[in-house]
Chains A and B, each alone.
Chain A
Amino acid sequence: EAQVTQNPRYLITVTGKKLTVTCSQNMNHEYMSWYRQDPGLGLRQIYYSMNVEVTDKGDVPEGYKVSRKEKRNFPLILESPSPNQTSLYFCASSFLSTMNTEAFFGQGTRLTVV
Chain B
Amino acid sequence: SQQGEEDPQALSIQEGENATMNCSYKTSINNLQWYRQNSGRGLVHLILIRSNEREKHSGRLRVTLDTSKKSSSLLITASRAADTASYFCATYTGNQFYFGTGTSLTVIP
Contacts and interface: CB of A to CB of B under 8 A. Distances in A.
Interface in A51-91: 56, 58-59, 88, 90
Contacts of A41: 101
Interface in A70-114: 88, 90, 92, 98-108, 110
B97 A102 contact: no
A108 B102 contact: no
B1 interface: yes
Instruction: Bin chain A's interface residue count.
Output: 20 to 34
25 contacts: A42-B99, A43-B43, A43-B88, A43-B99, A44-B3, A45-B96, A48-B95, A58-B96, A98-B30, A98-B92, A99-B30, A99-B50, A100-B31, A100-B48, A101-B31, A101-B48, A101-B92, A102-B45, A102-B48, A103-B33, A103-B35, A103-B43, A104-B45, A108-B41, A108-B42
Interface of A: 4, 33, 35, 40-45, 48, 50, 56, 58-59, 88, 90, 92, 98-108, 110
Interface of B: 1, 3, 30-31, 33, 35, 40-45, 48, 50, 88, 90, 92, 95-102
